Amino acid sequence: MKKVTIDSVYAQAREVLKQGRVDEARDLADYGIVMAAEAQEEGLGMDDELEGVRIGLWLERFWYFLENNNLMLA
């Protein structure tokens, strides 16, 4: 079984959005935010890296992805 990485989740979210699968793109972005939050629960801080990228930057990427593509739920 292939391990799911936060980077692969982000890439997949972008790909499914290109295919017009907005609900799946939203779910993947939400899952990426959860992955970053779980890393924080395990003791990592916003400036610590997850897969070579600061956790804070992962959170920004996923939030901006949701906002810029009108995927935010009211």
Count of domains forming the chain: 1
pTM reported for the whole predicted model? 0.92
pLDDT digits (tens, 9 = 90+) for 14-55: 999 999 999 999 999 999 999 999 999 999 999 999 999 999
Q: Is residue 1 part of a domain?
A: no
Residues paired with 49 in a beta bridge: 54
Q: Assign 57 a pLDDT band (cuts: 50, 70, 90).
A: very high
Q: How many CB atoms lie within 10 A of CB 41?
A: 8
Residues paired with 50 in a beta bridge: 53
**How far apart are alpha carbons 12 and 58 in whole angstroms?**
14
**How far apart are alpha carbons 22 and 50 in whole angstroms?**
26
| Structural domain span for residue 26 | 6-68
Q: Is residue 73 part of a domain?
A: no
Q: Assign 3 a pLDDT band (cuts: 50, 70, 90).
A: confident
